[in-house]
Amino acid sequence: MIRIANGQGFWGDWLEAPVRLVEQGPLDYLALDYLAEITMSIVQKQKQADPNLGYARDFPPLIARIAAPIRERGIQVIANAGGVNPVACAKQVRQLAPQLRVAVVLGDDLYDRIDEFLGRGYPMANMDTGEPLSAIRDRILSANAYIGAFPVAEALATGADVVIAGRCTDTALALAPMIHAFGWGPADYDRLAAGTVAGHIIECGSQTTGGNCQVNWQSIPNFANIGYPIVEAEPDGTFVVTKHAGTGGRIHSDVVKEQLLYELGDPRHYITPDCVADFTSIQLEDAGSDRVRVFGIRGGPRPPMLKVSISYAWGYKAIGALVYSWPEALEKAGAADRIVRERLCRLGLEFDEIYTEYFGVNACHGPAAPPVADPPEVQVRIGVRGQDRKAVDRFTREMAPLVLSGPPSATGFGDGRPAVREVVAYWPALLPRGEVTTRVEVVE
């Protein structure tokens, strides 16, 4: 049996979680997930500004904090913290923790190969819209193939204390140690699917130990000291989801079910670079306090294509807000929206979208929310999005004037006019897997 923990569900997750996982109980592997779809474009911009950047900058100082215990106890850390510059990330880790051996997984970054692929006739069409990539070619900011668990397992086999990948799948971070420790091969479909499901269960950290859980949330103990998830994996593909004794939160089959369904598409075809897992085969069993046993998982062969995550510069957006107080707060907010729209129209400004919502009334639930009779206060949020930066910038000057020139009792404009934000959009595409070659390097 091996113990694999997840100590970071996204870049920005609780900084203390990985430290506590190492300090508060037994562990063999510590997986840390840093990358969301949009993160790659952020790190790409950082690398363009400074060739020594382009990775999750929180990661090297974190590793420095846990360097001594992971080295002493032989815990291997696996993270997709490398972003678009895994080697620079590894060098920074080595600088802060020279006693550690660090390996990097390379080959996912396809930014310099886009024209080669287009030239060879791969359309890399948007998987959602069908549009060919040539439509946005000159606006591409990053392009990374999602790579699977086998190259990560290869990096673990070097004996490195820390394995740093770029855009590997979230589930690969947990599956890779199983491949490494149990010797699973590419045709062990059911076991690869089981490891993938284990990875899915823990990839969002404490969202599987009671965080963001609707089942009796008031009764979930000690959120402040919530334990992060640990998988106790067996060579046959069965596993137990648990957490360190004495930590907060709760692990129960209800909680695990919520996470299994989180960001799920077609449950029979959960597609990764390693296998296709069938979520309708998963069996759960509560096996004691804060322990859920998972078994019965089936899977199929890996797909011939790899998914490529491309980001590109779309345009600009800004969101402005004002608060109106009782009485008739909602009517006042609605009037403010009409005034802003009329003024934008008279200025001749055009936007891709103008969107208004009434926070405190129905911004989250829309028509599903019941009507509220004369609420104490309402925030009107108006957002605009467009290709023309000047138009978006002009909009940001149209909210504050309403305080003096619109309905009464407006407030909540203390932060000044809203910021114009660059919109980086996401373009998912497919590429034959043979086009992507990964390799492992040990960084000395």
Partner 1 sequence: MKIPLSRIAHARSGDKGDTVNIGLITYQPGHYPLLVREVTPERVKAHFGELVKGSVVRYELPNLGALNFLLHEALGGGGTLSLRIDAQGKTFGAALLRMEIDAD
Task: List residues near partner 1 by CB under 8 A.
Answer: 37-38, 128, 212-215, 254, 257-268, 279-284, 314, 317, 319, 353, 355, 357, 359, 363-370, 381, 383-385, 423-426, 428
- 357/324 Cα distance (integer angstroms): 13
Residue 111 or 426 having the CB closest to partner 1: 426
- 318/386 Cα distance (integer angstroms): 9
DSSP bridge partners of 294: 239, 284
Q: Coil, strand, or helix at residue 298? A: strand
* Residue 109 host element (H or E): none
Residue 122 or 279 having the CB closest to partner 1: 279
CB-CB contact of 147 with 438 (8 Å): yes
Residue 362 or 409 having the CB closest to partner 1: 362
Residue 177 or 299 having the CB closest to partner 1: 299
Question: How many helices (H) and strands (E) are present in the chain, helices listed first?
Answer: 12, 19
Select from 227, 203, 274, 177 the least CA-distant residue to 33: 203
- 221/239 Cα distance (integer angstroms): 24
Angle between helix axes 86-96 and 59-73 (nearest 10 degrees) is 60
Query: How near is the Cβ of 408 to partner 1 at its closest, in Å?
Result: 25
Q: Residue 129 carries which DSSP code?
A: T
Q: Do the strands 239-242 and 230-233 form a parallel or antiparallel pair, or are they unpaired? A: antiparallel
Query: How near is the Cβ of 263 to partner 1 at its closest, in Å?
Result: 4
Assigned token pair, 363: 């911004």
Residue 160 or 297 having the CB closest to partner 1: 297
CB atoms within 10 A of CB 322: 24
Residue 363 or 403 having the CB closest to partner 1: 363
Residues 6+ apart with CB under 8 A from 244: 20, 21, 24, 25, 227, 230
Query: How near is the Cβ of 418 to partner 1 at its closest, in Å?
Result: 12
CB atoms within 10 A of CB 25: 17
Residue 265 or 434 having the CB closest to partner 1: 265
Residue 368 or 404 having the CB closest to partner 1: 368
Query: How near is the Cβ of 426 to partner 1 at its closest, in Å?
Result: 5
Residue 79 or 284 having the CB closest to partner 1: 284
- CB-count exposure of residue 88 (10 Å: 0-12, 13-18, 19+): buried
What does each C-alpha distance from 80 to 75, 107, 169, 312, 358 come to in angstroms?
17, 13, 8, 21, 38
Q: Residue 206 carries which DSSP code?
A: G
Query: How near is the Cβ of 317 to partner 1 at its closest, in Å?
Result: 6
Residue 207 or 438 having the CB closest to partner 1: 207
Residue 218 or 437 having the CB closest to partner 1: 218
Query: How near is the Cβ of 123 to partner 1 at its closest, in Å?
Result: 19
- 237/113 Cα distance (integer angstroms): 37
Per-position DSSP letters for 264-290, written without gaps between them: ---TT-EE-SS-EEEGGG-EEEE-STT
DSSP bridge partners of 305: 432
Per-position DSSP letters for 213-262, written without gaps between them: --TTGGGS--GGGBPPPEEEE-TTS-EEEE--TT-BS---HHHHHHHHTT
